Each structure stands twice: as C-alpha cells, then as structure tokens.
Amino acid sequence: MNLGDGGVDLPSSSALSQWTHTARRYQHLLDKSTPLVLHRWIGFAFIAFVFALRVYLVQGYYIVTYGLGIYILQLFILFLSPQVDPEIHDGPTLPTRGSDEFRPFVRRLPEFKFWYSITKAFCVAFVLTFFSAFDVPVFWPILLFYWVILFVSTMKRQIMHMMKYKYVPFSFGKQRYTGKKVALADDTDTTAA
C-alpha cells in the first residue's frame, strides 16, 4: 500500500502513466522508422494488400473503399502541392526563371506524414470492414468510374498548376556536385620505344 502526502491510497501505476508510457513508446517507434523509407512503404503495401484481399473476399464494403479512395486522392494532392502556393500567397514563391534564386521544393504534406496518414486510413478502413453497418449495397462499377473521373480531373488541374509555376515535386536521389573537371594525363608512356 502506497500512502501519499495526505494519507490517501495512491496506486503505484495509474492508468494515465501507463497510457503516457504507451504513447511515448509508440512515438519512439515512429521516430526510429523515419529514415527507413523503403521499409515503411513495404509495410504500407502489405497493409493495403490485406485490405484489398479482405474487400475482395467479402465482396462488399465498396462505400468504405470509395471513401478511402477519396481520402487518398486528397492526401496525394497535398503531397504534390508546394507548401507556399504562388496563386494564394504573396510571400516567397517558386523560381520561374533561370535567374531566380534556387529554393528547394517543400511539400505541403511531407513524405512521412503522407505515409503515416495513408497507413492509418487503410487500418481504419480495414477495421470498418468488420462492421456490417458499413456494408451498404451499391453498384461498385459506378463508384469506380466516378472515382477515376475525379482522379483524372484533379490530376489534370494539378499538372497544369505544376506547368504554370514550373515545379516538379519529385527528386530522385541526392544531387551531387563534382566541382571542376580536372584533365587527367594519359597513363600510357608515348616516349617509350
């Protein structure tokens, strides 16, 4: 029995401290996974596969899948958009001419947050497939057709925005600077007979 200052019985480990410890442990695991980009996306692909397999096997939950698709589209647009939109803000903008100062592309939604949000969305959608209230009978080809039309129109608008303000939201690998090129002497000896 643990007695506090006022003689009140205090539990040795309260529910709040256990919850705080669990939250810190979860955050620690997230922090450790930050540099492991490929591993995180492989884990996401596994979760997405399990969700798709679940929907395929039960032949239902198309409304949940459609809602998930709309949410993914919204996240993807945020992922492709610059943090400072040149159409809205009067502050620093993306360089549009070769003489403008170089500013790296900063996303509105960083890659880690994109991954984390999309992974949580698939987990929530997977859990929803266990409740029959979310299995609304619909003709799924119409939902798929509407989603494709929405995706194409949204991406067309985003690509036009990229072309107008001349930015590319993807960079593959770290850019390396080699410096001055030094002419190397030919290793063969031309004076030898």
Residues contacting 79, CB < 8 A, separation 6+: 107, 108, 109, 111, 114, 169
- Say what angle helices 62-80 and 140-165 make with each other, to 10 degrees: 0
Residue 132 lies in a domain: yes
Structure tokens at 109: 């939604």
Give me the residues paired with residue 3 across strands: 9
Residue 140 lies in a domain: yes
Sign of CA dihedral 143, 145, 146, 151: positive
Residue 20 lies in a domain: no
Residue 40 lies in a domain: no
Gap between the Cα atoms of 1 and 9, Å rounded: 7
Q: How many domains does the chain have?
A: 1
User: What was the pLDDT predicted at 58?
Assistant: 93
Residues contacting 1, CB < 8 A, separation 6+: 9
> Which residues form the domain of 96?
59-169
Residue 80 lies in a domain: yes
Residue 131 lies in a domain: yes
User: What was the pLDDT predicted at 193?
Assistant: 45
What are the contacts of 105-113 at 24+ separation with CB within 8 A?
105/167, 105/168, 105/169, 105/171, 106/82, 107/78, 107/79, 107/80, 107/81, 107/82, 107/83, 107/169, 108/78, 108/79, 108/81, 108/82, 108/83, 109/75, 109/78, 109/79, 109/81, 111/37, 111/79, 112/34
Tens digit of pLDDT per residue, the chain (193 long)? Answer: 455 555 555 555 687 788 887 888 878 777 787 788 899 899 999 999 999 999 999 998 999 999 999 999 999 988 888 777 666 665 555 555 655 555 566 677 888 899 999 999 999 999 999 999 888 888 989 999 999 999 999 989 888 887 777 776 666 555 555 666 655 555 555 554 4
Residue 110 lies in a domain: yes
Residue 145 lies in a domain: yes
